[in-house]
Amino acid sequence: MIEALRHKFGLGQVEYSLHAVRQMVARNITPQEVTQTVLTGEVIEDYPNDKYGPSCLLFGRAAQQRPLHVQCTHPSRPLVKVITAYEPDPAEWDATLKQRKTK
């Protein structure tokens, strides 16, 4: 799946949900950082039964090694939709920022 996502991002076959845009502005995350995260990152969670359609969560590092999570739709759509992007909270994620801490 990651290779198909990278292919779509590389071709610019990407759109951003309104929620993603709002969150990116609030968190000072640029579209370039989202793209860099997808192009160099990895899928850490898969949501095949998400209520709005299959999606996944990626972890990667953007400029200056900034850790980011990007949730986007599966690449089966004509355009991959970025659902949200954020810096993972160490209180909620393990030291690698790839696995959720159990509550």
Does residue 38 have a pLDDT over 70?
Answer: yes
To the nearest 10°, the Cα dihedral for 15, 18, 22, 25? 30
Does residue 18 have a pLDDT over 80?
Answer: yes
Helix-helix angle 2-10:31-40, to 10 degrees: 140
| 3-class DSSP assignment, residue 18 | helix
Instruction: Give the max Cα distance, the chain.
Output: 40
Band of residue 103 on the pLDDT scale cut at 50, 70, 90? low
Question: What pLDDT shows up at residue 32?
Answer: 95
> Are the C-beta atoms of residues 92 and 100 closer than 8 Å to each other?
yes
In the chain, what are the domain boundaries? 2-86
> Are the C-beta atoms of residues 68 and 34 closer than 8 Å to each other?
yes
Q: pTM score > 0.85 for this model?
A: yes
Here the tokens at position 79 are 């355009």
